[in-house]
Structure formats: C-alpha cells, structure tokens
Amino acid sequence: MNDDSQQTADLRPGAASIHPRLAGTPVKEDTPGLRIRRKRHLEIVLSRLSLPPRPKLKWESYPLDSESAAEVAYIAGWVNDDIRGKSVIDLGCGSGILAVSAALLGAREVVGVDIDADAIKVARANAEAVGVNVEFITGDIECVHGRFDTTLMNPPFGSWRSGADVKFLKKALEVSDVVYSIHKRSSPVRRFLKQKIKELGGEVHSAYEVDIIIPRIYKFHRKRRYLVRTDLYRILKVKSVND
C-alpha cells in the first residue's frame, strides 16, 4: 500500500470507516499556532519522555510508544483539526505523552488525569522537560467534571478488569464532544464498541489502525517488546435536541 494512501474500507453497510495507518502523509508547513509542524519531529520529542517507574497491572497501565502517540496526535490534530486552539483532556494519562502531544500541537488548554500518583509525577516532569503547560491531576477519572472540546485516551483494554474500557468511554462522552480512544483490534471488539458507544450517547465517526509497541514492563513479559494491533476510534457525542 502506498504510504500516502487514505483509502477507507467499510466493515459492512453502515459501519464506521476503517483507515489504514497514515504514517507517510505529509503535514502542512504553514499551519499557524503549532509548536511542532512535522510528525517525525513530534515523534522524536516524545521519544525522550520518561516512563512511570512502577506501572500498575491492576490498572492495566501500558505505555504508548512515541511513534504510536505521534500517530494519534497527528490524526486528531492534523487530519481532523481537533486539537489546535481546543481544550483537551487526557484520561488515564500515564506518562502524559498524549497530553504533552496536544500541548505541542497548539491546544488552548490541556489537562491530564491518572489514578497513579507515580505516573503523574513523571508526567509533570515530562511536560516541564519539553516546556509545555499541562495541568496534571491525581485521581480517578470520576473526579473529572466540566466540559472539554476533545478527549485523547489510551484506556484499559478491559482484559484484567472487565468493563474498565467502557467506564472510560462513558466519562469521555460525558465531558467532551469528540473522543479519540485506543482499543484492541478485532471484529468482535469493533461490533461491541459500535453498539456500546451508541448506548452511551456517541457515534463512531471513523477508526484508524494503529500498531502499538509495548516494552517489557511486567515480570511475566518474556520478550523485549510486544506488538499490539489496535484501532483508534474517533467518536462524536450525539447532540440531543436540548443541547
């Protein structure tokens, strides 16, 4: 497949569009308000961020690699223009890599939330290291109130805690109009999420295939790194007549 291709393939009639990885698509150089104008530059900056020293399996804490995070930020910020000048929240922010990405791409306001105090310490240090302003909060996502334009998140897959992914989707749709959420890629998961998101008051606008590299961070890991095939969902909040 040509790297510059943005062809879509529907899973079935009425399904959301599934896009291939957009790794080769060029970024416009004249976009105002951006601190970084090339995806490769963003990836390099993100590769220098630190990871939380003690990830917690009970919270399914798996970090995003710099290439995947840059891909997410590129899709949200450059393909769909959902970051620049917008208020953005990163739910379950971990190292803060998505929150920092949003700040680098010109978000007006960025907040990151994570229940892991160790992760928040690292996230604050990462934001300071690259010179961006992000408000990081230690707490469960249920502590989040107010309104944001966009949510970026790499939520738990729900493999260890059933329903954890749905909890994040519910909160994201409560507090924002546009949601970018990463989930494992499979036909059953796609069908389940499309229905569940509809029940939560959202609509899957599109999905992008993003492959994540997870390093060896837990004792049961045997390989140096693992490839996890995921979908990045762009979800829109369905407006009611009273909104």
So what's the pLDDT on residue 19?
55
Torsions phi, psi for 64 (to 5 deg) = -85, 135
The amino acid at 136: F
- How far is the CA of 134 from the CAs of 35, 85, 110, 130, 218, in angstroms? 15, 14, 5, 11, 28
- Let me know the angle formed at the C-alpha of 75 by 237 and 163, rounded to the nearest 5 degrees: 50
Q: What is the pLDDT of residue 209?
A: 94
Angle of helix 187-199 versus helix 164-175 axis, rounded to 10: 40
Look at residue 202 in the predicted model and tell me its pLDDT.
97
pLDDT at 31: 42
- Domain 33-237 in CATH 3.30.360.10? The answer is no
Q: What is the pLDDT of residue 53?
A: 74
The CB density around residue 159, as the number of other CB atoms within 10 Å, is 11
Kindly state the helix (H) or strand (E) to which residue 225 belongs, with its residue range. Answer: strand 225-237
**Contact partners, residue 122, CB within 8 Å, separation at least 6:** 50, 51, 52, 53, 95, 96
Q: Determine the pLDDT at residue 216.
A: 66
Please list the ranges in the chain whose pLDDT falls under 70: 1-35, 55-61, 158-163, 215-221, 223, 240-243
Q: How far apart are the C-alpha atoms of 24 and 40, rounded to whole Å?
A: 10
Q: How far is CA 51 from CA 21, 143, 227, 235, in A?
A: 25, 24, 18, 28
Name the pTM for this structure.
Answer: 0.82
Looking at residue 63, its pLDDT comes to 77
Residue reference for tokens 């990081």: 136
CA atoms within 13 A on the CB side of 232: 25
126-161 pLDDT, tens per residue? 999 999 999 999 999 999 999 999 999 999 875 556
SS (H, E, C) 139-158: CCHHHCCCCEEEEEECCCCC
